[in-house]
Amino acid sequence: MLKFFKLINGKKFYCDEKGALIQKDGADVEVAADDTEAVDIESGVDEATKMLAEAMRKAVERGDKVAEIALAKTMEAVERFFEAVGEKAASKTSKVAISTEKASFDVDSVVKGLSDVKGGNRQSVAFEIKNKADLDYLAKSTAKDDLTGDVILPDLQPGMERAPVREVFIEQIADTQETTSDYVSYVEVTGSTGDPATTAELGTIPEKDFTFQEYKKPVQKITVANKHSVEILSDGPELVNAIRGFLAEDVNIVTDTQLLSGNGTAPNLQGVLGVAVNLNTLITASGQILANATHADVLRIGATAIKTAGKGKFRPTHCLLNPTDVEAIDLTKDSEGRYVLPPFISADGTRVSGMTVIENTAITAGTFLMGDFRKLHIRRKGGVEIEITNSDGTDFVKDIITMKVRRRLASYVKTNDNAAFLTGTFATIKTNLAS
């Protein structure tokens, strides 16, 4: 806050911005001997300019909210002073020239100077603030010549954030390999006749025949494109990198979703949920009963069903759950309010009956997917491919760039391995277990 004084007969007395002496108990207030901040009212314009310059310097250096508030308060105090000086100038000649028409400094030169500083062509730019009109050019307003955004540079933090997206995981837990072909083929036994048998001496040896079938899975394509101007490529490299990252992230999420729930009909990939057996069907068929079944009980029963169906060939490796169902397992209590930890769940809850638990919102709450994910085969043709071109339609003459992101891959679960995967709804299964 600016404090002013007048020099009268060799003594300093406090006065306001209009020069009126400040009184207390009917007497003029003399400036305290240790007050080094009060300035002569006659040199107030120069002092106000220095104060504002110092506040602006701190705002630029710090770039935080506190500095912005301090600058705003200083500008407000200086503005009141210039207004007061302006009123005096209207009634008598003053050393201060007041103009509401334009700034006293050359705005174009200042703008160019600031641009040079930003471009690294010079280190600083200086200009003097002499009156209220100068402040108007610095104030936040809709004026074309508003310099606030140039003088007080924003504290731009690195990186760009978007709304949260889920993590991808299927490729990390499946049998994932590379391919150089447009098709992936595999052979399965679809049937057989005859069986081995004990054979007497000179007896006829029994025959066993197999029926084979070749399957082919085409490599499918998942893509996305984004258009933006050439100027962004040259003026906003960080923005371009962020867009490229977002597009690749989105393509990977779609890929992960396809590997989870794709129906296998071109151009869709074969997802695990499309082949998984419903545990409720197995429980209904077996007539299994378990009173007061919990989420954990359902998962334990499922692990046994997979092992039984595979006759030792299948080993459930992962259990995929929505975070809300993991919470339901963690918060399970007995009748006396004590937390229950079944012996087949690890102390940290990350493993259930030997399966690694993966929490992900891609799994619908109230359901589960478990299985031997070694039986999900993914064949990738290359990685995430990114292309940039201006040859789409009239983009060349409009300086428009198209960024394209693409992935190519195939996926399959052999028919004989479908039973390696189980899915189901907790509520339905627990109801049927109780009846």
| Alpha helices, DSSP H, located in 64-206 | 65-91, 107-119, 132-138, 148-151, 170-173
378 touches 207 (CB < 8 A): no
Alpha carbon separation from 218 to 172, 314, 407 (Å, rounded): 21, 26, 13
The one-letter amino acid at 193: T
Residue 76 in tokens: 């407000």
Question: Has residue 389 been placed in a domain?
Answer: yes
Taking the mean position of all CA atoms in its chain, how far away is CA 127? 42
Measured CA to CA, the distance from residue 78 to residue 132 in angstroms comes to 8
Taking the mean position of all CA atoms in its chain, how far away is CA 284? 44
Cα-flanking dihedrals φ and ψ of residue 345, to 5°? -115, 135
Question: Has residue 159 been placed in a domain?
Answer: no
421 touches 372 (CB < 8 A): yes
| Alpha helices, DSSP H, located in 140-275 | 148-151, 170-173, 230-235, 237-261
Give the CATH number of the domain where residue 424 resides: 3.30.2400.10
User: Is the domain of 238 the same as that of 294?
Assistant: yes
User: Is the domain of 125 the same as that of 184?
Assistant: no
* Per-residue confidence (pLDDT) for residue 80, from 0 to 100: 61
User: Is the domain of 211 the same as that of 138?
Assistant: no
* Per-residue confidence (pLDDT) for residue 230, from 0 to 100: 73
User: Is the domain of 177 the same as that of 272?
Assistant: yes
319 touches 370 (CB < 8 A): yes
User: Is the domain of 133 the same as that of 227?
Assistant: no
Residue 384 in tokens: 């995430």
Measured CA to CA, the distance from residue 227 to residue 405 in angstroms comes to 12
Question: Has residue 220 been placed in a domain?
Answer: yes
Question: What is the per-residue pLDDT across 332-389, written as a single tens digit (0 to 9) for each?
Answer: 999 899 999 999 999 988 999 999 999 999 999 999 999 999 999 999 998 888 887 7
SS3 string, 56-71, reads HHHHHHHCCHHHHHHH
* Per-residue confidence (pLDDT) for residue 431, from 0 to 100: 94
User: From the DSSP assignment, how many helices (H) and strands (E) are in the chain?
Assistant: 13, 18
What average pLDDT does the chain have? 80
Can you tell me whether residue 425 is helix, strand or coil?
Answer: strand
pLDDT beneath 70, residues of the chain:
1-2, 17-18, 42-107, 110-111, 113-160, 231-240
Can you tell me whether residue 315 is helix, strand or coil?
Answer: coil
Question: Has residue 249 been placed in a domain?
Answer: yes
User: Is the domain of 216 the same as that of 102?
Assistant: no
User: Is the domain of 325 the same as that of 413?
Assistant: yes
* Per-residue confidence (pLDDT) for residue 88, from 0 to 100: 47
Which distant-in-sequence residues (6+ apart) come within 8 Å of 142 by Cβ? Answer: none
Report pTM: 0.63
* Per-residue confidence (pLDDT) for residue 144, from 0 to 100: 43
- How many domains in the chain? 2
User: Is the domain of 325 the same as that of 253?
Assistant: yes
* Per-residue confidence (pLDDT) for residue 118, from 0 to 100: 55
Measured CA to CA, the distance from residue 229 to residue 241 in angstroms comes to 14
User: Is the domain of 119 the same as that of 175?
Assistant: no
User: Is the domain of 111 the same as that of 42?
Assistant: yes
Question: Has residue 162 been placed in a domain?
Answer: no
Question: Has residue 165 been placed in a domain?
Answer: no
User: Is the domain of 80 the same as that of 189?
Assistant: no
Residue range of the domain that includes 355: 170-196+204-434
| Alpha helices, DSSP H, located in 63-93 | 65-91
User: Is the domain of 303 the same as that of 419?
Assistant: yes
Question: Has residue 161 been placed in a domain?
Answer: no
Question: Has residue 163 been placed in a domain?
Answer: no
Measured CA to CA, the distance from residue 54 to residue 180 in angstroms comes to 65
